[in-house]
Amino acid sequence: MSRFFTTGSDSESESSLSGEELVTKPVGGNYGKQPLLLSEDEEDTKRVVRSAKDKRFEELTNLIRTIRNAMKIRDVTKCLEEFELLGKAYGKAKSIVDKEGVPRFYIRILADLEDYLNELWEDKEGKKKMNKNNAKALSTLRQKIRKYNRDFESHITNYKQNPEQSADEDAEKNEEDSEGSSDEDEDEDGVSAAAFLKKKSEAPSGESRKFLKKMDDEDEDSEDSEDDEDWDTGSTSSGSDSEEEEGKQTALASRFLKKAPTTEEDKKAAEKKREDKAKKKHDRKSKRLDEEEEDNEGGEWERVRGGVPLVKEKPKMFAKGTEITHAVVIKKLNEILQARGKKGTDRATQIELLQLLVQIASENNLGEGVIVKIKFNIIASLYDYNPNLATYMKPEMWQKCLDCINELMDILFANSNIFVGENILEESENLQNVDQPLRVRGCILTLVERMDEEFTKIMQNTDPHSQEYVEHLKDEAQVCAIIERVQRYLEEKGTTEEICRIYLRRILHTYYKFDYKAHQRQLTPPEGSSKSEQDQAENEGEDSAVLMERLCKYIYAKDRTDRIRTCAILCHIYHHALHSRWYQARDLMLMSHLQDNIQHADPPVQILYNRTMVQLGICAFRQGLTKDAHNALLDIQSSGRAKELLGQGLLLRSLQERNQEQEKVERRRQVPFHLHINLELLECVYLVSAMLLEIPYMAAHESDARRRMISKQFHHQLRVGERQPLLGPPESMREHVVAASKAMKMGDWKTCHSFIINEKMNGKVWDLFPEADKVRTMLVRKIQEESLRTYLFTYSSVYDSISMETLSDMFELDLPTVHSIISKMIINEELMASLDQPTQTVVMHRTEPTAQQNLALQLAEKLGSLVENNERVFDHKQGTYGGYFRDQKDGYRKNEGYMRRGGYRQQQSQTAY
């Protein structure tokens, strides 16, 4: 029973506990030695009373310990989180710090953390390997620590000047604080200062603690044993025994406690001892650094993983004295390949083993057949190094793969008697009999296709705005060279299907590139001997147009699969459109009839089709065919998902509709950045084309109630512009087009021209075209012509007649062009006028209704439709509709065929009976 639940006086409590053994209270008020009668819950928990200073400093040290652990594992994100908590904890301890001063351990962590972050910042290679969160946290924490440390500059400077002394002082101060707090606790428990000798223990330094650990353990063991004996006898001994034990323990404690220096001599001795200790520590540290320098001279250090050190030995391929033959090497190759794909298999070690096997085969002259077989497996292992489809090859693995494929192609070109193919069975392989052709199972085309896919993945997963992307893009030259070598090899020894596949790979790396050399040759005719031999050799190379024509025609004739032929046609059209061959591209698109069944193709082919249509529209715009350009771009731009349809990114709203797996699949379909089509250029071309078509049409049908919209997106932009409360100068591309449209609507072609063609629009759009000056000249001409048509539509009711010379001066067009435009408008009945040739004037005819007449016609049409709807509703209620009336027997009947229909029904009823 707990003593806290007893009631009454002390005598009553003693009488109630008569059956129990009474415990006497020892003299001196030592409650620490008295076994209290507590409940089970109270016995489990021991209450410790600590000062506010100890609590705050313990919180700070725990956070510092966590920061140091995070620094060891280079977890900068964790360092940032704990540093913010450390600042808050220091703010809570501000009152204590003001009394006691800034603790040394706090200054030490601030200085160490700043040095650590500066080292990380200067390590450029390490920063590249950091993940995104750590890199972001590094810059944030570096700024915060530099700003925070300004308040502690003097303390940090003192610490850096003498870090060892500050560390020793800090340790002593902490020890004194802990002793002081423990003494206070004991006083609170009721132990007076006279009961014990008040002495302070001196903890050994960090270095000496390592060497004195065994002695301390022995002393602790002896103390534990004595304490156990005292604990066992304490409960049964009398009060006098407890006093004797107390005296013994006091004497024992006095031997291990540090005496406080009382005299000047004691203080000097303690100070000298402290200096000797610091000197010894410094000597040990310098000695250790010297040893490390000596070790470093012997060779380079290698970073190893934590845990038990593993002895890295070179794997032994064959036992000593084994004769290396074809059978032994093939057997070993199969053993290595059997571990492929199994759990726990180290893929890097597997690649090393295969490379070692190649060396052994070449050293023992086992022939090229065995080397080719092992090379095939090395390349396959390199592809399998990343088991996840979404991950891409590391740069070193990628370079190994390219080198290995080049070595394999060298062997195949050097040895024409080696035949490789996926149809060759392993049983029918010939790796050693040189008299017959060597046959090796393996498909070089599959390896090259996989290499091309890996290159695409590398480009997809690299930041397109970084220098790293440019470095990776340089590898495309090696990829194209390998594809070209495989093409030459398969043209000699491959099947028709394989040739079509490798031709498609070559096409896919050619169709989107603008041939500047061919374009330059078209602009400047060749001049005899003015060019150097190197320039002539470059110019004599095959034009991309001739190359595409040759490769695509072979696929058109020989390919049996629809997909390869479809991709070849689309790439061919794209290449024609890119080089401004509009009519060839248009005819090929119309003859292929791809637009009829493209919706049944797989998504990558649909993306290629969308890209081709967009390029076709841009090509038509460059040729001045605005209507064809608008029709080609209409489907892509009207959907509002041009970015997604062209495979250049995913929209946020579509990401919400897909799950995670679908999103991964969509991201793998994305086109690399160097194949992207500029979306702002695309939208500008579409809007300008729509403006040149829509503004004259709106002017011609201004009063027509049934006017249709040519471009909904263009009308949307016009409405957005009209809703603006303040009309300032245009900034974005869309605002420029809207402002130009308003100017064209008024017939002001110069203002329209200034909005469409200016420095800002040139930099954003027009300078991106290969022949920018031609495009700008074409645009000015189109704006003048369409502004003339709009002017005639808008102001024809104002004029009785107008001179063509006046129109020519207004719009800065030559007279034949003005004559041609007006003649077409009259022939198409768009303009009610006639030309007077002698006077070169346009005579207007007053056949167009006025605005009031137009409103009356609209009202008449609306009333007519209202009457018609009213009659339909009335007939439906009366039972008659369109000349029919309702009969109870036969349903709806018409007046004319009543007898015939009734007779037919009577005959039916008679035959039924």
Q: Provide mean pLDDT across the span 703-716.
A: 78
Mean pLDDT over residues 448-462, rounded?
A: 91
Tens of pLDDT along 406-422?
Answer: 999 998 888 888 888 88
User: Which tens digits make up the pLDDT trace of 204-241?
Assistant: 444 444 444 444 444 444 444 444 444 443 444 444 44
Q: Is 225 helix (H, G, I), strand (E, B) or coil?
A: helix
Q: In what order do the strands lie in the sheet with 841-844?
A: 801-803, 841-844, 833-836
For 54-63, 192-201, 756-765, which range has the lowest pLDDT when averaged over its residues?
A: 192-201
- Across the range 569-579, mean pLDDT stands at 93
Q: Is residue 35 part of a domain?
A: no
Residue 342 lies in a domain: yes
Exposure string (b/e) for 483-500, b if CB count within 10 Å is 16 or more?
bebbbebbeeebeeebbb
Mean of the per-residue pLDDT values of the chain = 76
What pLDDT is attached to residue 47?
67
| pLDDT tier at 307, thresholds 50, 70, 90 | very low
The dihedral formed by the CA atoms of 850, 856, 858 and 864, expressed in degrees to the nearest 10: -150
806 domain residue, yes or no: yes
Q: In whole angstroms, what is the distance from residue 566 CA to residue 800 CA?
A: 58
Does the pLDDT value for residue 889 go beyond 60? no
* Model pLDDT for residues 790-837, shown as the tens digit of each residue: 998 888 888 888 888 888 888 888 899 999 999 998 898 888 888 888
The packing angle between helices 444-460 and 395-414, to 10°, is 160
Q: How far apart are CA 9 and CA 610, in angstroms?
A: 99
Averaged pLDDT for residues 779-791: 91
Average of pLDDT values for 630-648? 89
The least confident of 344-353, 520-529, 615-624, 869-878 is: 520-529
* Helix, strand, coil % over all residues of the chain, rounded to 5: 70, 5, 30
What average pLDDT score do residues 611-616 get? 94
Residue 89 in domain? yes
Asked, for residue 552, whether it belongs to a domain, the answer is no
Give the 3-state DSSP-derived string for 74-116, with helices as H, strands as E and coil as C: CCHHHHHHHHHHHHHHHHHCHHHHHHHCCCHHHHHHHHHHHHH
The pLDDT score that the predictor gives to residue 541 is: 56
Last residue of a domain, one of 114, 139, 162: 162
Residue 266 placed within a domain = no
Res 503 pLDDT > 90: yes
**Any idea what the CATH number is for the domain that residue 737 is in?**
1.10.10.10
Tell me how far CA of residue 520 lies from CA of 524, 526, 532, 770, 846, in angstroms. 6, 10, 16, 11, 55
165-181 mean pLDDT: 48
* Residue 259 predicted with pLDDT over 80: no
Q: How far is residue 415's CA from residue 328's CA, in Å, rounded to a whole number?
A: 24
Neighbours of 429 (CB within 10 A): 16
* CA 767/CA 763 separation, integer angstroms: 6
For residue 329, pLDDT beyond 80: yes
818 belongs to a structural domain: yes
Percent of the chain past pLDDT 70, that is, above it, reads 72
Residue 606 has pLDDT above 90, yes or no: yes
Q: Does residue 639 carry a pLDDT above 90?
A: no
Q: Which residues are registered as beta bridge partners of 842? A: 802, 835
Angle between helices 76-92 and 132-148 (to 10 degrees): 30
Rg (CA), the chain: 47
b/e per residue 840-875 (b: at least 16 CB within 10 A): bbbebeeeeeeeeeeeeeeeeeeeeeeeeeeeeeee
**Domain-ending residue, one of 801, 829, 844:** 844
> Does position 4 have pLDDT exceeding 70, yes or no?
no
Considering only 39-43, 129-133, 784-788, which range has the smallest mean pLDDT?
A: 39-43
Residue 221 burial class via C-beta count within 10 angstroms: exposed 0-12, middle 13-18, buried 19 and up = exposed
Q: pLDDT tens-digit profile of 76-112?
A: 999 999 999 999 998 888 888 888 888 888 999 999 9
- What mean pLDDT is predicted for residues 350-355? 86
- Predicted confidence at residue 704, as pLDDT, reads 67
Identify the bridge partners of residue 884 per DSSP, sorted by sequence position: 881, 894
Phi, then psi, of 835 in degrees rounded to 5? -95, 130
The answer on pLDDT for 568 being more than 70 is yes
Tell whether the model's pLDDT for residue 336 goes beyond 50.
yes
pLDDT of residue 315: 53
Tell me the average pLDDT across 523-531: 54
Domain that holds residue 787: 678-844
Q: Give me the pLDDT at residue 31, please.
A: 41
**Phi first, then psi: what are they for 294, rounded to 5°?**
-65, -40
User: What is the per-residue pLDDT for 771?
Assistant: 84
* Res 74: pLDDT: 86
Confidence of residue 550 (pLDDT cuts 50, 70, 90): very high
The number of angstroms, rounded, from the C-alpha of 519 to the middle of its chain's C-alpha atoms is 37
Residue at a domain's end among 162, 180, 204: 162
- Candidate from 142-146, 275-279, 636-640, 811-815 with smallest mean pLDDT: 275-279
The β-bridge partners of 886 are 892
* % of the chain exceeding 90 in pLDDT: 22
DSSP state letters, 7-27: -S-HHHHHHHTTTSPP-PPPT
Strand partners of residue 885: 893
Residue 659 has pLDDT above 60, yes or no: yes
When pLDDT is averaged across residues 864-886 and rounded to a whole number, the result is 74
The backbone torsions φ and ψ at residue 788, rounded to the nearest 5 degrees and listed phi first, read -65, -45
**String of DSSP letters for 871-898:** HHHHHHHHT-BTTEEEETTTEEEESTTH
Residue from 155, 163, 255, 177 nearest 206 by CA? 163
**Residue (of 200, 201, 188, 197) closest to 250 by Cα position:** 197
Tokens 């791809």 label which residue? 594
Note the pLDDT of residue 494: 85
**Does some domain include residue 450?**
yes
Return d(Cα 558, Cα 568) in angstroms, integer: 12
Q: What is the pLDDT of residue 616?
A: 94
- Count: domains in the chain: 3
Are 545 and 557 spatial neighbours (Cβ–Cβ below 8 Å)? no
Both tokens of 301, joined, read 């250090």
Tell me the pLDDT band of 255, cut-offs 50, 70 and 90. low
Q: How far is CA 546 from the centre of its chain?
A: 39
